[in-house]
């Protein structure tokens, strides 16, 4: 193996690749070759570093220099200045948002200080396409230990003792699920990895698969050994081409090295893994709908019991966990249950990966110990709200979750606390909203998503979410009444109590949580016919103020509807009957003469 003096790590997640990370790699290699340094410095494309807001990222080892927002044309300067002469390229270093001082080492950045990477331990450190780099970081050691020196019962007990709960949303104890599956005797049993990540703004599972695919494969094999299953299947949405490519390469490499296939490492244990592609249906994130889709049928939930552990894929006992759950398994086996229990809370052990998105300064992928507060995540790690705006709410758990407000910021994040607050953990999506967000419109957005994605099998979800959406549209258009609000609450309760599957049962959560926390906003929409946030277009009126208008004609020129009239250097006017309320006039006016209300 080549003995390099320095290593250059380049983020190779989907986000950074879309920002020309591939070209950055090529340019770095070209510059190193031209400088005669190609044999001394390696260039590796890794998985996601997490700090998506500042990507593409180039990290240089061993000095741990962290360059942000790198462009292809910066590659030559990084090589000639940093590699050749040891001079840091200061304009590419991260600037502290408060002090504006340059920070060279990522461990000193607020974004990383409170993180603890377990599921993401290899993302951003290794080449996901090189199995030897995974092996060098103790990869497949846990599998080796399990099949050569531990009984199936011992493996299950370790997972049970660790307190690991499913990271896909429901939070069911992982070890208990494995134990239940292991009790059923059948010649054919399955292990299924749920990689059907469908929540808006969520990219946790995709990033793990792109950055550390072997961790998931190793965990699936360990699960197969513990539950006496011989076949694993990964259900992944076809919209994840990079994750699919890296998974397929990882499966092939693991087979070549003897970690998958027949008689693994010379033992009697055999386990193979294959991929099944989903078409992006949100409902297929529900385990029984996922199984029906894998069997070639329509993705619809089925009544439980029987549970998949007893009657799953093709009627055989099946253990289903999501990507993040599996990613924790190898390190739990190596480090022990007590080590994992030392992180998190009593009922929610370990860490959790979140995708931070929305009106927040540090958009990205983070992993924190359970029990970390929302305030720490949003203001310390996330860097607070963009443009100095005021925090208003955060939606956790995606369309199945709810909105939490300022009074909830000191809530420790774990499964039970979020449910008690009217939200849920979900798979880990976390969308932050500022003072300019309209909460009835937010609820409408999530209901529109859920209604469109409903499989239509049960009436409460198929018809109920349609009626909820119609009510929200009336409210946001200023056509609702106080009776509409009561109907919203009543119908939401009925759907929660009667829908067939968890997706339908949780669909009203965004409505109920915003009704409870932002009742005054709903009242303003139906009584005052006003949108306090200025978002609902049908409730907006644009006005040109005569004392500020200079008659520059800019608003006249940008209006797409021809609703503005006036002569040069004279006050202009808006014809409200023609105005489509796009806001182009207000955005263009340099004199702040146009307001909306």
Residue-wise pLDDT for 208-265, tens only, equals: 999 999 999 999 999 999 999 999 999 999 999 999 999 999 999 999 999 999 999 9
Q: What is the pTM of this model?
A: 0.91
What does the alpha-carbon distance between residue 30 and residue 23 come to, in Å, rounded to a whole number?
10
Average pLDDT for the chain = 93
Q: What is the CATH number of domain 131-341?
A: 3.40.50.11540
pLDDT > 90? residue 597: no
| Concatenated DSSP letters of 15-73 | HHHTTTHHHHHHHHHHHHHHTT-TTTEEEEEES--S-GGG-S-EEEETTTEEE-S--GG
Q: Tell me, what's the pLDDT at 327?
A: 97
| Paired sense of beta strands 351-358 and 364-369, if any | antiparallel
Strand runs labelled E in 47-175: 58-61, 65-67, 94-95, 102-103
Please report, for the chain, the start and end positions of each structural domain, with discontinuous segments joined by +: 6-106, 131-341, 351-434, 439-528, 540-596
pLDDT in the model for residue 356: 94
What was the pLDDT predicted at 78?
A: 96
- pLDDT over 80 at 553, yes or no: yes
94-108, 260-274, 398-412, 560-574: which has the minimum mean pLDDT? 94-108
C-beta neighbour count of 62 within 10 angstroms: 8
In this structure, CATH architecture of domain 540-596: 2-Layer Sandwich (3.30)
- Are 131-341 and 439-528 in the same CATH fold? no
> Is 439-528 in CATH node 1.20.1440.230?
yes
Cα 295 to Cα 26, 29, 292, 313: the distances in Å are 42, 46, 5, 7
- pLDDT band, residue 1 (cuts 50/70/90): low
Supply the DSSP symbol for 479. -
* CA–CA separation, 72 and 425 (whole Å): 38
pLDDT tens profile 292-342: 999 999 998 988 899 999 999 999 999 999 999 999 999 999 999 999 999
Q: Quick one: what percent of the chain has pLDDT higher than 90?
A: 82
CATH number of 351-434: 3.10.20.600
What does the pLDDT look like over 263-293, one tens digit per residue? 999 999 999 999 999 988 888 888 999 999 9
Please determine, for residue 154, whether its predicted confidence score (pLDDT) is greater than 80.
Answer: yes
What is the pLDDT, as a whole number, of residue 529? 92
What's the CATH architecture for 6-106? Answer: 3-Layer(aba) Sandwich (3.40)
Cα separation, 501 vs 487, in Å, equals: 23
Q: Which of 502, 451, 532, 564 is nearest to 171 (CA)?
A: 502
* Spacing of C-alpha 592 from chain mean position: 38
């Amino acid at each position: 193996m080549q003995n390099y003096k320095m290593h250059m790590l380049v983020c190779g997640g989907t986000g950074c690749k879309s920002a020309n990370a591939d070209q950055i790699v090529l340019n770095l290699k070209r510059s190193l070759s031209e400088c005669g340094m190609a044999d001394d410095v390696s260039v590796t494309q890794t998985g996601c570093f997490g700090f998506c807001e500042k990507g593409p990222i180039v990290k240089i080892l061993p000095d741990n220099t962290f360059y942000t927002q790198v462009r292809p044309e910066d590659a030559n300067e990084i090589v000639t200045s940093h590699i050749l002469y040891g001079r840091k390229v200061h304009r590419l270093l991260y600037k502290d948002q408060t002090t504006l001082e340059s920070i060279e080492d990522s461990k000193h950045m607020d974004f990383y200080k409170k993180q603890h990477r377990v599921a993401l331990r290899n993302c951003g450190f290794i080449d996901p396409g090189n199995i030897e780099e995974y092996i060098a970081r103790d990869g497949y050691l846990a599998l080796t230990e399990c099949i050569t020196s531990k009984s199936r019962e011992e493996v299950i007990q370790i997972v049970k003792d660790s307190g690991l709960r499913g990271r896909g949303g429901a939070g069911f104890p992982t070890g208990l699920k494995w134990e239940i599956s292991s009790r059923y005797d059948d010649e054919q049993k399955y292990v299924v990895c749920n990689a059907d990540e469908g929540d808006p703004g969520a990219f946790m599972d995709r990033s793990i698969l792109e950055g550390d695919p072997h961790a998931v494969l190793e965990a699936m094999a360990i699960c197969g050994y513990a539950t006496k299953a011989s076949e694993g299947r990964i259900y992944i949405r076809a919209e994840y081409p990079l994750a699919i490519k890296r998974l397929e390469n990882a499966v092939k490499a693991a087979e070549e090295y003897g970690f998958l296939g027949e008689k693994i490492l010379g033992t009697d244990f055999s386990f193979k893994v294959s991929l099944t592609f989903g078409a992006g249906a949100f409902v297929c994130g529900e385990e029984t709908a996922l199984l029906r889709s894998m069997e070639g049928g329509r993705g619809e939930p089925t009544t439980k019991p029987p549970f998949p552990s007893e009657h799953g894929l093709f009627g055989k006992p099946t253990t289903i966990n999501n990507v993040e759950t599996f990613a924790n398994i190898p390190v739990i086996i190596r480090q022990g249950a007590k080590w994992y229990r030392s992180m998190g809370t009593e009922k929610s052990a370990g860490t959790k990966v979140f995708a931070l998105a929305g009106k927040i300064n540090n958009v990205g992928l983070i992993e924190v110990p359970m029990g970390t507060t929302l305030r720490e995540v949003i203001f310390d790690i996330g860097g607070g709200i963009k443009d100095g705006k005021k925090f208003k709410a955060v939606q956790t758990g995606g369309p199945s979750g709810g909105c939490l407000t300022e009074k909830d910021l000191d809530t420790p994040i774990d499964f039970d606390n979020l449910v008690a607050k009217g939200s849920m953990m979900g798979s880990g999506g976390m969308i932050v909203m500022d003072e300019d967000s309209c909460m009835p419109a937010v609820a409408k957005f999530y209901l529109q998503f859920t209604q469109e994605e409903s499989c239509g099998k049960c009436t409460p979800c198929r018809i109920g979410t349609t009626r909820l959406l119609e009510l929200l549209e009336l409210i946001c258009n200023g056509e609702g009444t106080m009776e509409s609000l009561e109907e919203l609450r009543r119908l939401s309760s009925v759907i929660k109590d009667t829908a067939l599957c968890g997706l339908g049962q949780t669909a009203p959560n965004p409505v109920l949580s915003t009704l409870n926390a932002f009742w005054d906003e709903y009242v303003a929409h139906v009584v005052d016919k006003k949108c306090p946030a200025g978002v609902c277009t049908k409730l907006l009126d644009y006005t040109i103020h005569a004392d500020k208008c200079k008659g520059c004609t800019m608003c006249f020129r940008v209006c797409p509807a021809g609703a503005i009239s006036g002569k040069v250097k004279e006050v202009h006017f808006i014809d409200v009957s023609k105005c489509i309320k796009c806001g182009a006039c207000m955005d263009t006016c340099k004199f702040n003469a146009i307001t909306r209300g």
